[in-house]
Chains A and B, each alone.
With several copies, the nearest count.
Chain A
Amino acid sequence: MFKRILIANRGEIAVRVIRACRDLGIESVAVFSDVDRAALHVREADQAVLVGPAPAAESYLNTEAILAAAKKTGAEAIHPGYGFFSERAAFARAVEDAGFVWIGPAPDAIERMGDKVAARKLMAAAGVPITPGSPGTLETEEQVREIANKIGFPIMIKAAAGGGGKGMRLVESDNDLGSIVRTVASEAKSSFGDGRFYVEKYLKRPRHIEVQVMADKHGHTVHVFERECSIQRRNQKVIEESPSPFITPEMRAKMGEVAVRAAQAVNYTSAGTIEFLADADRNFYFMEMNTRIQVEHPVTELVTGVDLVRTQIEIAAGAKLPFKQEDLAQRGWAVECRIYAEDPAAGFAPAPGKIETLRFPSGPGVRNDAGVYAGAEVPIFYDPMISKLVTWGATRSEAIDRMRRALGEYVIAGELRTNLDFHRWMMTQPRFLKGEFDTNFISQEWHPLRNGAVHADQAHLAAIFLAAIAGNQSANLAAASSPRASTPTTSGMRPSSWRMIGRLDQLRR
């Protein structure tokens, strides 16, 4: 087993990998950018090395600095987490060329699955069903229009090098086509260094179901069952669960078998996910393979009892899979809510900032994988995820009961805004509770102006007013007396308010 691992990532996934390392008795090395000096992953790691300024391209995507950090600290292996370098074959190769172990699939497998167009062809050849769309990559608005006319709107335009909800846009009709093609092409070029894109038929009321696979370097490949990720906003997942409430046992068995076949087609090793879209008739189509650990891996961990990240590390160190297909079973149900610093009332736009007060939920069935702490800043430079709140229950309904309770306990207050109220609303939606939803659920059902407000009676309102007045006076006091107060104020407080808050302060003892 390795003695020391460098984690080329930040946020909750870096902390997640540190925890797996600690369980295995392995030392962890964090890397950080200028703005992340005091980030949680730096605090939690055994070692930490500065790799550059805030922009990811100069720090978390700085190959030279990261390999130098690994060398300097004596790390033997590198875990990329998700995002950043995780699906960049060139980096994986550089890691291996520099003599480190890459904790992930072979660069060749990343590459073959990373080219979405080539992957579609490969999968079709391996007998994996694929969606209708362009046979290869496209470059112009005209080419897109031609395909669209053949398969019909709506269509998805996807960057050939994209994935994970990045670099893909829905086109509803010919009117939006020009603007969207421009955006995708530009984004693809700047984000992935590859401006090519392709087109797929956009399924009506699709369900997004994916299968986790694990493969060792000794030829063993298993699937660890499915997740459903149909609750999405801006084509990004916000709520995931396992099992899927949609699929039948027969469909589950078939999807698992197809997923294993797909992974074996590229001699896959480590953790990976085959993403499928399913239509209302329970036909399913290969969408892409994510050649990394995924954000939503905890729902699988809670339902199967498998530690996917620990197993990734063991596989990279040459171990055989510690389980066979027949050892794996699903038990109960798990739901994950991604907690973001964003403003659901403003189209889910990022709303980062400093966290002043933070209380995590806990108790039976609750797991919260966070990347922050009270006093930490959610910086504007990276993905604004605060944590992944995951609950387990013996049934789907118990898991959701617990999620509702955990969301109620979760307190995040400060400069930032969060989607907690959005998730609280979600957990009361009849269609969600019945499992009858598709990837369009949020755009169909969410009305920011109508939802999320507290419906308070007079007594409740009185309590809110009292707290607001007390809190306002505390804030003024803090601003006036603390050198670190971040909310400057021209306080018009009267002396009696000072007296009151002074008393409140005494009460706190």
Chain B
Amino acid sequence: MRYVATLEGTEHEVDLEELTPESFAISFGQDRFEADLRRVGPASFSVLLANRSFDFDVVRDGEEIVVTSRHGSTRLSLVDSARRFTRAGPKRELKGPAQIKAQMPGRIVNVLVKAGDQVKEGQGLVIVEAMKMENEVKTPKAGKVAEVKVVAGQTVEKGALMIVIE
């Protein structure tokens, strides 16, 4: 089976061949490796490859797969080339109006602007408290406040739209 693995912006075409139920051949680029794979936990895998021992924990994070070992974490996206089922959509463009969204769940402590205000780049818009820390959210561009979707005291989910700057 063929996969496309994208890692730090580079696409790798990976061919996976099942040799026995426990061993696989992995080919990509010029190289072909044979590896022994054991599942050692709900999402943990032990891989022996050319005598080297790797111990991986694998989780999904949205569209990405995070593979962690004692060497650190690797984030990659994986596409079954027959059906591109885990492919993320095209990145959304960041031109046009700036949509100020909550970067984490939290509580709105204060709203510093109202619709119609002119703001300059870097000006504070709202103060959000999350994890007992307060953070002033600033506008990435100068412009006019088109919409204010939050009020002080309200809690917001991650990704919630708070302010629109035109």
Do A and B assemble together? yes
Instruction: Establish whether residues B68 and A411, one from each chain, have CB atoms under 8 Å apart when the complex forms.
Output: yes
Interface residue A414 (Cβ < 8 Å from any Cβ of B): yes
The answer to whether B134 and A468 touch across the interface, beta carbons within 8 angstroms, is no
The verdict on A474 contacting chain B, using a C-beta distance below 8 Å, is yes
Q: Is the CB of B134 within 8 A of A183?
A: yes
| Interface check A173, CB cutoff 8 A | no
How far is it, in angstroms, between the C-alpha of A467 and the C-alpha of B71 when the chains are bound? Answer: 14
Q: Residues of B contacting A464 with CB < 8 Å?
A: 54, 56, 67, 74, 76
Q: Can you list, as one digit per residue, whether each of B65-101 has a CB less than 8 Å from chain A (1) or not (0)?
A: 1111111111010101011011000000000000000
Which among B3, B52, B105 is the interface contact of A46 at CB below 8 angstroms? B52
CA distance A382 to B53 in the complex (A): 23
Q: Which residue of chain B is the closest to A22 with respect to CB atoms?
A: B70
What's the nearest-Cβ distance from chain B to residue A39, in Å?
9
Query: Complex: how many Å from CA A478 to CA B43?
Result: 10
Q: Which residues of A from 483 to 503 have beta carbons under 8 Å from B?
A: 487, 490-494, 496-497, 500, 503
Q: Which residue of A lies closest to B57 (CB)?
A: A413
**A380 on the interface (CB 8 Å rule)?**
yes
Pick out which of these stretches binds chain A: B31-39, B113-121, B139-147: B31-39
Q: A421 — which chain B residues lie within 8 A by C-beta?
A: 72-73
CB-nearest residue of chain B to A183: B136
Contact, CB under 8 Å: B52 / A463: yes
A-side contacts of B52, CB under 8 Å: 46-48, 459-460, 463
**Which chain A residues (430-463) contact chain B, with CB distance < 8 Å?**
452-454, 456, 458-463
Given A349-B103, A460-B54, A474-B58, A507–B134 Cβ distance below 8 Å? no
CB-CB under 8 A from A470, the residues of chain B are 37, 39, 45, 58
| Contact of A73 with B by CB under 8 A | yes
SS of B interface (majority): strand
State whether B60 touches A469 (Cβ < 8 A). no
Residues of B within 8 Å of A183, CB to CB, are 124, 127, 134-136
Q: Which residue of A lies closest to B8 (CB)?
A: A453
Interface-facing stretch out of A102-110, A184-192, A256-264, A362-370: A184-192
Q: Contacting chain B: which of A242-250, A286-294, A311-319, A350-358?
A: A350-358
Q: Closest A residue to B138 by CB, please name it.
A: A179
Question: Which residues of A172-225 are within 8 A (CB) of B?
Answer: 179, 182-183, 186-187, 190-191
Task: Tell me whether B149 is interfacial, beta carbon within 8 Å.
Answer: no
Chain B interface size range: 35 or more
Which residues of chain A come closer than 8 Å to B26, judged between CB atoms?
462, 465-466
- Residue numbers in B under 8 Å from A413 (CB-CB): 43, 57-59, 66, 68
Contact A494 B39 (CB under 8 A): no
Chain A residues with Cβ below 8 Å from B38 are 37-38, 507-508
A residues less than 8 Å from B33 (CB atoms)? 458-459, 462-463
CB of A49 within 8 Å of the partner chain: yes
Closest-CB distance, A289 to chain B (whole angstroms): 21
**Max count, chain B CB within 10 A of own CB: residue among A424, A452, A461, A504:** A461
For A458, what are the chain B residues with a Cβ–Cβ distance below 8 Å?
A: 28-29, 31, 33
CB contact list, A3-34 vs B, under 8 A: 29-30
> Whole-angstrom distance from the CB of A28 to the nearest CB of chain B?
9
Give min CB distance, B11 to chain A, whole Å: 12
Known A-B contacts A413-B57, A462-B35; the reply to A467 vs B45 at CB < 8 A is: yes
Q: A179-B124, A507-B39 are in contact. List 13 more A-B contacts (CB 8 A).
A: A38-B46, A43-B53, A48-B48, A186-B109, A356-B59, A357-B59, A373-B41, A382-B131, A413-B58, A420-B73, A453-B74, A474-B42, A507-B22
Interface residues of B (CB under 8 A from A): 1, 3, 5, 7-8, 12, 14, 16, 18, 21-22, 24, 26, 28-29, 31, 33, 35-61, 65-74, 76, 78, 80, 82-83, 85-86, 103-106, 109-110, 112, 124, 127, 129-136
Can you list 27 pairs linking A and B with CB atoms under 8 Å apart?
A38-B38, A49-B51, A73-B51, A183-B127, A186-B110, A190-B109, A234-B133, A349-B104, A352-B131, A356-B59, A357-B41, A375-B40, A375-B41, A384-B131, A409-B70, A460-B54, A462-B26, A463-B49, A463-B54, A465-B12, A467-B37, A471-B43, A474-B39, A493-B85, A494-B1, A503-B22, A504-B37
